[in-house]
Copies of this chain bind each other. A is one copy, B any other.
Amino acid sequence: MPNKLKRQGRIKELLSTYSISNQDDLLRLLKKEGFAITQATMSRDFAELGVVRAFVQGNVCYMLDPDESGNQIAKLIGFEILSIQHNETMVVVRTLAGRAQGVAHFIDRLNKEEIMGTIGGDDTLLVIPNKKENVPVIIDFIKKLMTENPGRKVK
């Protein structure tokens, strides 16, 4: 029975609580909590969650890579965006209530040179192009975000 979601949620918590240095350690922790999975699944979880091996205070330890987490968020973006409008000089994106900041943040992080910046309110955000000729480019870009499924890198 797939409890992938619950399990991965717990993994994120555990990783941010303890200092885990190999998959088996975490595996034991999870088993103790009733998640009966194998190392193979764990490995895939790491890949999906964007867990990376990093040096922290001398020794290696697994942690969430913020950039990878960004990739995961990409899957949500399309869900949060309701519509895109624009005029001559800027693009306005409407989102579900309370999500505009998150979407704006995501777009910021993509570092598109055509995008000078974003401003997010509650359910609306403004995307400001570096020059007005780029408005269409930006629209295409955001629309692509909405439909592409950047998920699963696991293979």
A residues sitting closer than 8 Å to B (CB atoms) are 5-6, 9-10, 12-13, 16-17, 64, 66, 69-70, 72-73, 76, 78-84, 94, 96-99, 101-102, 104-106, 109, 122, 146-147, 149
In the assembled complex, which residues on chain B have CB atoms less than 8 Å from the CB atom of A12?
A: 82-83
Q: Which chain B residue shows the least CB distance to A76?
A: B76
A79 touches B72 (CB 8 A): yes
CB A96 to nearest CB in B, in angstroms, measures 5
Known: A13-B82, A72-B79, A101-B102. 19 other contacts (CB 8 A): A5-B78, A9-B81, A12-B82, A13-B83, A16-B83, A17-B83, A64-B82, A66-B97, A69-B96, A70-B96, A70-B97, A73-B99, A76-B76, A97-B109, A98-B102, A98-B104, A98-B109, A99-B102, A105-B122
B94 touches A105 (CB 8 A): no
In the bound complex, residues from chain B placing their C-beta under 8 Å from that of A70 are 96-97
Q: Can you list 27 pairs linking A and B with CB atoms under 8 Å apart?
A: A5-B79, A5-B147, A6-B149, A9-B78, A9-B79, A9-B146, A9-B147, A12-B82, A13-B82, A16-B82, A16-B83, A64-B82, A66-B97, A69-B96, A69-B97, A72-B79, A73-B98, A73-B99, A97-B105, A97-B109, A98-B101, A98-B102, A98-B109, A99-B105, A101-B102, A102-B102, A105-B122
Residues of B within 8 A of A109 (CB): 97-98
Please, which residues of chain B bring their CB within 8 A of the CB of A9? 78-79, 81, 146-147
